[in-house]
Amino acid sequence: MLSTKFTREFEVDHPIVCGGMTGVGTAELIAAVANAGALGFLSAHTQPTPAQLDEEIRRTRSLTDRPFGVNLTILPSMRAIPYDEYRDVIIDNRIRVVETAGSNPAPHLPALKAAGVKVIHKVVAVRHAVSAERLGVDALSVDGFECAGHPGEDDVPGLVLIPATCAKVELPIIASGGFATGSGLAAALALGADAINMGTRFVATEEAAVHRNVKDQIVANTERDTDVVFRKFRNSARVARNAVSTQILEIERREEATFEDIAHLASGARGRARVLAEGDMDDGLWWAGQAQGLIDAVSTCKEVVDTIVADAEEIIAKRLPATIRY
């Protein structure tokens, strides 16, 4: 078993995380991740109201007695989001770990810390990691440019970003972006990280509550089948390439284009309804990272975790010592 600073501090068996994914991070998936010995995060905003998040936490607890957390993404929105109420539901349910992302988590830290909640904050740059450590978070999830979602505007891949961050902070580091195999876990540990985060790999599992077409598309796709959209608006986002992402990029190339010109295409609600729920793979944006190119089958969460850990252990204990000569 691979014991790291992360597994010891967060009391899980394996140094593997399933970060919060809007529309995907629901009870069935997160409970399965937890039962496999990894740490999964429910997505707070997948639930339309704080009361529904309360129900989803209870539903998850009916499926597992292992640790799991909740993701609280703090981003600008066209509608007012009651972040404080979501946070209070997390605290009232005695959730022990929260993953924050997006804007500065400082307004929420006093209440979370007072309740004994550990905070993992997602960052996309070394300078952000240093600032988050100074704020008092407990761990960092470091997103390289390969990841799905919002990788920032610096275009720094994990091979550079992970060790650069490890050199500047002392907190446990979770490496994110491009991870789906045991060799990736071994590499992340060699770079100084204490765990890996996987999103796309966990979407392509039996327990993920998305249409089978989504899972099969991830398996069929290669590492080249993603697009980075919204770069024109300095809100870069990596998504699976399809008709909608291609259309958005065509519009973005127009000098006079504004976000309003693509808002109807970029709607998260559209992607969740048309793609994730109905399986129409070309009728909305959906998140996927370059790790698609490493995924060759839809498996259970237990199979994914067990295989990755076993392969990493073999690489570290056997393959590398047999390869290296002094």
* Distance in angstroms (rounded) separating the CA atoms of residues 47 and 45: 5
Tokens of 252: 């973005």
Closest CA to 147 of 209, 72, 237: 237
* Distance in angstroms (rounded) separating the CA atoms of residues 148 and 181: 16
Alpha-carbon distances, residue 225 vs 83, 127, 147, 148 (angstroms): 34, 30, 13, 12
- The three-class DSSP label of residue 18 is strand
Buried b (16+ CB within 10 A) or exposed e, 112-130: beebebbbbbbbbbbebbe
Q: Does the pLDDT of residue 78 top 70, yes or no?
A: no
Closest CA to 194 of 168, 175, 181: 175
Q: Does the pLDDT of residue 326 top 80, yes or no?
A: no
Task: Please give the full DSSP string across 83-138, using - where no structure is assigned.
Answer: HHHHHHHHHHTT--EEEEEES--GGGHHHHHHTT-EEEEEESSHHHHHHHHHHT-S
Q: 115 has which bridge partners?
A: none
> What's the pLDDT tens digit per position in 167-222?
999 999 999 999 999 999 999 999 999 999 999 999 999 999 999 999 999 999 99
Q: Classify residue 14 as left (phi > 0), alpha (psi -120 to 50) or beta.
A: beta
Residues 231, 47 contacting (CB under 8 angstroms): no
Residue-level pLDDT at 250 = 97
- Mean pLDDT calculated for residue range 94-116: 96
Residues 112, 119 contacting (CB under 8 angstroms): yes
> What's the pLDDT tens digit per position in 241-294?
999 999 999 999 999 999 999 999 999 889 999 999 999 999 999 999 999 999
- Structural domains of the chain ordered from first start: 5-210 (3.20.20.70), 226-287 (no CATH)
Quickly state the pLDDT bin for 75 (edges 50, 70, 90): confident
Residue with tokens 């109201």: 49
How is residue 289 annotated by DSSP? -
* Distance in angstroms (rounded) separating the CA atoms of residues 25 and 31: 10
Quickly state the pLDDT bin for 77 (edges 50, 70, 90): low
User: Looking only at Cα atoms, what is the longest distance across the chain?
Assistant: 61
Tokens of 215: 């899972």
Quickly state the pLDDT bin for 42 (edges 50, 70, 90): very high
Residue-level pLDDT at 320 = 87
* Distance in angstroms (rounded) separating the CA atoms of residues 29 and 41: 9
Residue with tokens 């994990």: 158
Q: 240 has which bridge partners?
A: 226
> Residue 153: how many CB atoms within 10 A of its CB?
13
pTM over 0.85: yes
